């Protein structure tokens, strides 16, 4: 999902569509934040 959002943001930038670029850019930022906040197991020091 993160990979798709990043790719879609880049594709939108290529065709100069600012609205779509910012939409998928925001999705990517959110998904990245959620991964860091939810899937990092501090006691195992490992992403799960």
Partner 1 sequence: MGRISYFFKVKHENGTFANAREAIGFIPWYFNLPADLPKYAHQWNQLRDTTGFNAAWGITTAERRHPLFRTHGSGHGCEWDGPLWPFATTQTLKALSNLLTHYKNQGNMTPKIFYDELYKYAQSHQMNGKLYLGEYQDEKNGEWLKGDNPRSKFYNHSGFADLIISDLVGLKPRADDILEVQPLVPPNQWEWFCLDKVVYHGKSITILWDKTGKHYRKGKGMRIWVDGKEIFHAKNLGIVKVKI
Do 40 and 47 form a contact (C-beta atoms < 8 A)? yes
Cα–Cα distance between 18 and 24 in angstroms, integer? 10
> 17, 22, 26, 32: which one contacts partner 1 (CB under 8 A)?
32
Question: Cα angle vertex 41, ends 39, 42, to 5°?
Answer: 135
Do 24 and 2 form a contact (C-beta atoms < 8 A)? no
Instruction: Please report whether residue 19 would count as binding partner 1 according to CB under 8 A.
Output: no
Instruction: Please report whether residue 22 would count as binding partner 1 according to CB under 8 A.
Output: no
Instruction: Please report whether residue 18 would count as binding partner 1 according to CB under 8 A.
Output: no
Residue 23: CB minimum distance to partner 1, A: 18
Which residues contact partner 1 by CB under 8 A? Answer: 2-3, 6, 10, 14, 32, 35-36, 38-41, 44-48
């Amino acid at each position: 999902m993160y990979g798709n959002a990043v790719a879609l943001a880049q594709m939108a930038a290529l065709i100069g569509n600012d609205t779509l670029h910012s939409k998928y850019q925001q999705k990517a930022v959110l998904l990245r934040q959620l991964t860091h906040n939810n899937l990092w197991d501090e006691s195992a020091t490992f992403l799960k």
